[in-house]
């Protein structure tokens, strides 16, 4: 049995549970409480506030956690970052009132900066050789300049919309973050084996993201040119069709290259092109 801590309510909860679901680890939603058991995997789920997750994993009350890297950095918890999860992307940035001119990090010298991330900020200021007055605020950091509580803010930014609507502009990005899977140091062999099994499944899910399965009929004399357009994991599958002079070609393509490749394949004479959802990729 291994225990994972995930955010109970918030931006990362849905995606964390969805990833486990995709990996075939089902947790009964109706039983969502402080501690729940997976139905068909040796896993317990501990639902917590995100701020508490790094510490709980460091202390060993949970073996694993899914949390924003920003929280790991802020708490300074001594844990291993095992994987980036590919969701919850954001950055920790400094922002100032938009009408002010920004000259560089020295701008912040002697200024009041409101933040919920005092440790990450203090480290960055030290590295820049700047002394500022850090004001720790737990919520609504973005309104503090307008409220006269601070001269600048250091906060999470994703689209940047919140900054704009509060008359602020982003001037320094200090940390890029996304959800990460963390593990406590020194897992025993049995728990490591369960973690490896989870990672194998998570990787298959992440590998399939942004990819499509494509198949088509193509004149046999065009196959070698089509293969150049469609490199697959090893190489595309080519099968002769009952109709003479035609083959069926199967491969995996990156979604962002899909339309370009389809156009080039059509130009070669490809017909009956099917594009299918790819559920898992196991290398």
Residues engaged in binding ligand PRT (CB under 6 A)? 7, 9-12, 49-51, 68, 70-71, 88, 90, 142, 155-162, 177
Evaluate whether 58 touches 77 at the Cβ level (below 8 Å). Answer: yes
Evaluate whether 281 touches 209 at the Cβ level (below 8 Å). Answer: no
**Which residues have C-beta within 8 Å of that of residue 119, sequence separation ≥ 6?**
73, 74, 75, 76
Q: Which stretch binds Zn ion (CB under 5 A): 28-36, 42-50, 77-85, 167-175?
A: 42-50
Q: Is 178 in the site for Zn ion (CB under 5 A)?
A: no
Question: CA-CA distance, 110 to 125, in Å (whole number)?
Answer: 11
Q: How far is the CB of 177 from ligand PRT (least distance, A)?
A: 5
Q: Which stretch binds Zn ion (CB under 5 A): 45-53, 83-91, 105-113, 179-187?
A: 45-53
Q: How far is the CB of 137 from ligand PRT (least distance, A)?
A: 11
Binding residues for Zn ion, rule CB under 5 A, total: 2
Evaluate whether 151 touches 36 at the Cβ level (below 8 Å). Answer: no
Nearer to ligand PRT, 10 or 110 (CB): 10
Concatenate the DSSP letters of all residues of 33-51 into one string: SSEEEBSSSSEEEEEE-GG
Among 51, 203, 207, 225, binds Zn ion (CB under 5 A): 51
- Among Zn ion, ligand PRT, none, what binds residue 15 when CB lies within 5 to 8 Å by partner kind? none
Q: Is 151 in the site for Zn ion (CB under 5 A)?
A: no
- Among ligand PRT, Zn ion, none, what binds residue 54 when CB lies within 5 to 8 Å by partner kind? none
Q: Starting from the edge strand earliest in sequence, which strands make up the sheet with 112-115, in order? A: 133-136, 112-115, 152-157, 90-97, 168-177
Q: Is 137 in the site for Zn ion (CB under 5 A)?
A: no
Site string for Zn ion, 20-39 (x = CB under 5 A): --------------------
Nearer to ligand PRT, 11 or 280 (CB): 11
Nearer to Zn ion, 50 or 170 (CB): 50
Question: CA-CA distance, 175 to 260, in Å (whole number)?
Answer: 35
Alpha helices in the chain (DSSP H): 13-22, 53-59, 69-75, 118-128, 161-165, 189-208, 223-229, 258-268
- Among Zn ion, ligand PRT, none, what binds residue 155 when CB lies within 5 to 8 Å by partner kind? ligand PRT
Question: CA-CA distance, 107 to 130, in Å (whole number)?
Answer: 9
Question: CA-CA distance, 263 to 230, in Å (whole number)?
Answer: 12
Q: How far is the CB of 49 from ligand PRT (least distance, A)?
A: 4
Q: Is 155 in the site for Zn ion (CB under 5 A)?
A: no
Nearer to ligand PRT, 33 or 277 (CB): 33
Q: How far is the CB of 134 from ligand PRT (least distance, A)?
A: 17
Q: Is 50 in the site for Zn ion (CB under 5 A)?
A: yes
| Torsion sign, CA atoms 175, 49, 88, 41 | positive
Q: Is 11 in the site for Zn ion (CB under 5 A)?
A: no
Q: Maximum CA pair distance of the chain?
A: 80
Q: How far is CA 77 from the centre of its chain?
A: 20
Q: How far is the CB of 140 from Zn ion (least distance, A)?
A: 13
The residue ranges that bind Zn ion (CB under 5 A) are 50-51
């Amino acid at each position: 049995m291994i225990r994972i801590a995930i955010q109970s309510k918030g931006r990362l909860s849905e995606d964390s549970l969805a990833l486990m679901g995709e990996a075939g680890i089902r947790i009964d939603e109706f039983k969502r409480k402080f501690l729940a058991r997976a139905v068909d995997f040796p896993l317990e789920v501990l639902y917590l506030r995100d701020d508490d997750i790094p510490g709980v994993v460091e202390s060993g009350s949970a073996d694993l956690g899914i949390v924003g890297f920003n929280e790991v950095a802020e708490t300074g918890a001594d844990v291993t970052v095992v994987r980036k999860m590919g969701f919850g992307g954001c950055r920790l940035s400094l922002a100032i009132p938009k009408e002010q001119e920004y000259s560089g990090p020295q701008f912040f010298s002697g200024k009041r900066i409101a933040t919920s991330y005092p440790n990450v900020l203090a480290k960055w200021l030290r590295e820049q050789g700047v002394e500022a007055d850090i004001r720790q605020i737990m919520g609504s950091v973005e309104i503090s300049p307008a409220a006269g509580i601070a001269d600048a803010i250091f906060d999470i930014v994703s689209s940047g919309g919140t900054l704009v609507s509060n008359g602020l502009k982003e001037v320094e990005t200090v940390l890029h973050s996304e959800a990460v899977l963390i593990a406590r140091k020194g897992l025993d062999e049995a728990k490591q084996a369960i973690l490896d099994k989870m990672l194998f499944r998570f990787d298959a899910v992440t590998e399939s993201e942004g990819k499509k399965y494509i198949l088509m009929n193509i004149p046999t004399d065009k196959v070698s040119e089509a293969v150049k357009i469609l490199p697959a994991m090893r190489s595309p599958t080519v099968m002769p069709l009952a109709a003479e002079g035609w083959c069926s070609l199967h491969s995996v393509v990156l979604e962002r290259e899909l339309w370009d490749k389809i156009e080039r394949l059509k130009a070669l004479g490809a017909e009956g092109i099917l594009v299918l959802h790819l559920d898992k990729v196991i290398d």
